[in-house]
Amino acid sequence: MPPAANNLFSPPDDTRLTGVVKRLTFVNPETDFAVVRLEVAGPIGQVSVVGPLSQVKEGEEVELTGRWDEHKKFGRQFVAESVRTRPPTTQAGIRRYLGSGLVKGIGPVMAGRLVDKFGEDTLRVLDETPRRLMSVEGIGRKRLAQIKRAWQEQQEIRRGLVFLQGLGLGPAQSLKVCRRLGERTVEAVRADPYVVSREVRGIGFATADRMAREMGLAVDAEPRLRAGVLFVLESQTEEGHVFVWRDELLDAAGRVLDVDQRLVETAMDDLAAAKEIEITPAGDRTAIYPSWLARCERELAWRLLARLDEEGSDPPRKAEWAAARDSLALTLAPAQERAVAAAVSRPVVVITGGPGTGKTTIVRAVTAILGKRRQKFVLAAPTGRAAKRLAELTKHPASTVHRLLEFDPQQGRFNRDERHPLAAEVVIVDEASMLDLWLANALVKAVAPGSRLVLVGDVDQLPSVGPGAVLREILASGQVESVYLSEIHRQAARGRLIPGAHAVNQGRSPEFHQGPDLGDLYFIERDDPAEAAQVIEDLVARRIPRGFDLDPFKDVQVLSPMHKGEVGTESLNRRLQARLNPERRGIERGAFRFARGDKVMCVKNDYDRGVFNGELGRVTAVDLEEDALIVDFDGRRVLYEALDLDALTLAYAVTVHKSQGSEFPAVVVPVMNSHFVMLRRNLLYTALTRAKRLCVLVGTRSALTRAVKTTDERRRNTFLARRLKGEL
């Protein structure tokens, strides 16, 4: 509640407060929320301030608007609703300001030296005569250039920050926008406020819409209507859909924009005329595509069909079969022989089947025959871990599809395409169920005319994270030669794990190991989520490493169906981090702290760094002064600054979706009734197939039964199969 009017400690205006930031007590950059100690002139002295202050720096002078409140636990505090910052004017303030990590190349020690040298003129020297900095110990030409560049960036960022925060955008989000748009921030947002939701991860349409309304944009303004339609389309592509049905788009966009559907129809016509969307009649309904996805689907279909008309190669000869058998030291089953023959002779072939059916054996046989023929081949997979595993199993080099196609992050495109195709006669891609529409189209585009393409994967696993269901649609079309492997081979059938995965895929509960000797598939029954979480922690940290001689970081992976709850990834990550890596010095980001030694995962395609969604790494160094850390991704060391950490998450526990393309010696999976909305057969099947040696399910029998019996009826909107069949 606000203080009484005659309170001596009340400022003249109860809704405004000005002071110098003394200390950041608590910061949550994910939500902008922070608790700050503020030095206010006059009788007030130091006060606590809470609100969207995560980006203020110690030493800064801030102007706040908000209200006073009496907190039950923390007492009297000012609740800030908006903040404007201005550089400090005192030596102590400048020292804290520059030492806060604001400017690259200036840490606390260097900030002290600068203030000792230039006093209250330090910021003016940085602005007007930066060459004078070279008179300070530790600053040479190289460091001066770094400081000048960083200081100029800060000036541009501050202009954008003032503008964006004036529109009601929080400090952390404002800083993201400024870093993404750079010096064009103010002009770009004035021209189109919805640019922030299109170009900045984590800022949605609703936030951009509030900014637009603050700028006076009318409810029925054309930019707003178009942005609303594109927002609904984009949100559906994030769910895996390639298009949205017209009637559903009209309804959803009308609700998001709160306007009549006739205005939405006009906006759709404008977007179609501008070639931002594509309208495709399909029987008695109409599909609306983002133009880039329509182009990908159309191109992929006709490129595949064109390849089917190319001449194939000769089937394997006796000497080549002998070479394959010698390399494998085993006899192929009839279905495997058919798959090998197709792979070495047909222009395009799909080989699919569950675990233990010999997909890798087929790839090894194919490479042996191609080697005998002296034909050049390349191996690839959608993720780094899958590519690494493929290389280990086949004894041949393998890369990610992105690296195979030489993705250029600066240009945002692949260097390998139809003009510069791959120098290979055969291209073999494993884990092909993970190929989304965009990547599959880029891949097929880069396969040279006359070269062959072999896609290997398990069509019954979860579909790709990105839009489309490429492998499933190719098989459903019936146009591409395919071999489905169903026989579980003797070595794979010895335990319970692989037969158990096939049982789940067929709608039956698996059989679990019983008895004192070590098995490969276990079920530990726990009804209470808190007890289940404790069991999972103990399994990862103690029981599995001891019993199976496995490393809890490298070899054991928790896969949960959901993020939230006691046995969701967020809670389990905090619990396992505390148990396995109690290092306290780290960088706070949202609900997590990233410390040296932590297991992390990239959760979005980061083309600038060359790190892609689902890649796992370990934090090898944390620089608290620079607010940055280094992550090792299979030998590649990548730098992340604090504002970039939304691209990472702790990875002691990850979702089943994010585990696609990876394989781990041991997997632990919570199967609880609290996850009922995600308990589906293909999700549990995918989790089981991620385990190489051991899988432990923890939960309830009823949840297990629900997962086994529930098929995923949510089909993705895509017309690839129909295009391949010539129906569209």
pLDDT at 51: 84
Both tokens of 625, joined, read 């002064």
Residues 6 or more apart in contact with residue 471 via CB below 8 angstroms: 350, 352, 432, 433, 435, 455, 457, 459
SS3 assignment, position 477: helix
Mean pLDDT by 10 residues, the chain (728 residues): 36 73 72 80 83 75 85 81 74 76 76 90 88 89 86 75 76 76 85 88 84 90 93 91 96 93 94 95 94 96 93 84 81 88 93 90 92 93 86 92 87 89 96 94 95 94 90 95 85 80 93 87 94 96 95 95 89 94 79 88 80 87 81 88 81 90 91 83 92 94 93 87 92
Q: What is the pLDDT of residue 1?
A: 34
Q: Of the candidates 607, 565, 563, which has an alpha carbon nearest to the alpha carbon of residue 413?
A: 607
For residue 265, report the phi and psi dihedrals to the nearest 5 degrees.
-60, -40
Residue 13: its pLDDT value, please? 55
Task: Please identify which residue in the block is written with the tokens 């609303």.
Answer: 228
Report the C-alpha gap between 102 and 114 in whole angstroms: 14
Whose tokens are 């609306």? That residue is 288
Determine whether 443 is exposed, middle or buried from the number of CB atoms within 10 Å of its CB (0-12, 13-18, 19+).
buried
Parallel, antiparallel, or unpaired: how do β-strands 285-290 and 616-623 relate? unpaired
Q: What is the pLDDT of residue 636?
A: 84
578: CB partners within 8 A, 6+ apart:
none
Which residues face 611 on adjacent strands? 606
How are beta strands 586-589 and 592-595 bridged, if at all? Answer: antiparallel
Separation CA 520–CA 310 (nearest Å)? 46
DSSP state of 119: G
Measure the N-to-C terminal CA separation of the chain; round to a whole number of Å: 65
Distance of CA 550 to the CA centre of its chain: 27
Helix, strand, coil: what percent of the chain each, to 5? 45, 25, 35
Amino acid residing at 257: L
**pTM of the shown model:** 0.77
- Angstrom distance (rounded) from CA 377 to CA 431: 17
pLDDT at 21 (0 to 100): 86
**Cβ neighbours, 10 Å, residue 221:** 13
Burial state string for 325-364 with b = 16 or more CB within 10 A and e = fewer than 16: eebbeeebeebbbbbbbbbbbbbbbbbbbbbbbbbebbbb
> 363 is written with which tokens?
């790839």
Integer CA distances (angstroms), 154 to 121, 161, 226, 251, 686, in order? 18, 10, 33, 43, 47
Which H, E and C letters describe 111-180, residue by residue?
Answer: HHHHHHHHHHHHHHHHHHCHHHHHHCCCCCHHHHHHHHHHHHHHHHHHHHHHHHHHCCCCHHHHHHHHHH
Distance CA(394)–CA(378), nearest Å, equals: 12
**Cβ(640)–Cβ(530) below 8 Å:** no
Q: How far is CA 324 from the centre of its chain?
A: 40
Contact between 92 and 84 under an 8 Å Cβ cutoff? The reply is no
CB 660 within 8 A of CB 614: yes
State the pLDDT at residue 550: 96
